Chains A and B, each alone.
Chain A
Amino acid sequence: QQPVQSPQAVILREGEDAVINCSSSKALYSVHWYRQKHGEAPVFLMILLKGGEQKGHEKISASFNEKKQQSSLYLTASQLSYSGTYFCGTEASLSAGGTSYGKLTFGQGTILTVHP
């Protein structure tokens, strides 16, 4: 079952912040975040493993609440280059029917548009 992302779309001005959420109905082992620009392949942003650790680099960070099976991606002081579609990909824990083969289930995506 696909994780649910919210919101479906976000429009920002440069410098504004945004949060994208990803929620799963299954217990999770890991959450991945990717960004895809129009006509291009998805590009990896970060991975979060169960444990609630918050990771990030520069102005993009993320958190993972394994008890709630939720992850959030935080984009701070957005830049024009942040525009694109953001996908979370989740891997279920073994107890929830996951495998150890990296089978990710992706959300439907969140379209982020940053205007000057």
Chain B
Amino acid sequence: DAGITQSPRHKVTETGTPVTLRCHQTENHRYMYWYRQDPGHGLRLIHYSYGVKDTDKGEVSDGYSVSRSKTEDFLLTLESATSSQTSVYFCAISRLAGIGELFFGEGSRLTVL
């Protein structure tokens, strides 16, 4: 199994509070991604990284920011959580962009009350 861990795995928070989800990998893969999964929508890309300090937006990036200061860590921050951000968040890593498989973390379930 690919060495990828997400934390926290479950979190309940209130509207307006900041939240940070962490993705940690031990594979030294260059590419890292944050997806959210909601019923009926499949997986939607929030942000991705193609190297340390190199990040870009995905299709649903509003309300989210990311940082990658080390190869192994990719942080997803909700500056002010809203109920619409209640979701399951998956981090994924890949060694070869596009032609390499994605390895997914176990997911982080976030509930915003």
**Is B100 a contact partner of A102 (Cβ separation < 8 A)?**
yes
Residues of A within 8 A of B100 (CB): 47, 102
Contact mask for chain A residues 33-60; partner B; CB cutoff 8 A; 1 contact, 0 none = 0100000111110010100000000000
Total of A-B residue pairs, C-beta within 8 Å: 65
With contacts A41-B106, A42-B90 taken as known, whether A30 is within 8 angstroms of B99 at the C-beta atoms is yes
Interface residues of B in 70-113 (CB under 8 A from A): 90, 94, 96-107
New A-B contacts (16) at CB < 8 Å, excluding given A87-B43, A104-B33, A107-B42: A29-B98, A32-B101, A41-B90, A41-B106, A42-B43, A42-B90, A47-B99, A47-B100, A100-B98, A101-B31, A101-B50, A102-B99, A103-B48, A106-B44, A108-B40, A108-B41
Q: Does A113 contact B (CB under 8 A)?
A: no
Q: Does B59 contact A (CB under 8 A)?
A: yes
Query: A104 touches which one: B41, B45, B107 (CB < 8 A)?
Result: B45
Q: Mark A82-116, 1 if CB is under 8 A from B, else 0.
A: 00000101010000000011111111110000000
Question: Quick one: which of A32, A42, A101, A109 contacts B56, CB cutoff 8 A?
Answer: A101
A13–B96 alpha-carbon span in the complex (Å): 37
In the complex, A2 has a CB within 8 A of chain B: yes
Contact B102–A44 (Cβ < 8 Å): yes
B-chain residues with CB within 8 Å of residue A40 when the two chains form the complex: 106
Instruction: Pick the contact of A2: B42, B96, B106 (CB < 8 A).
Output: B42
**Which of A43, A49, A102 has the largest count of B CB atoms less than 10 A from its CB?**
A102
**Closest partner residue, chain A, to B51 (CB atom):** A101
Report 25 cross-chain contacts, Cβ distance below 8 Å, ordered by A residue. A30-B98, A40-B106, A41-B106, A41-B107, A42-B104, A43-B104, A44-B101, A44-B102, A47-B100, A49-B99, A91-B98, A100-B98, A101-B31, A101-B48, A101-B56, A102-B31, A102-B94, A102-B99, A102-B102, A103-B58, A104-B33, A104-B45, A105-B45, A106-B35, A106-B42
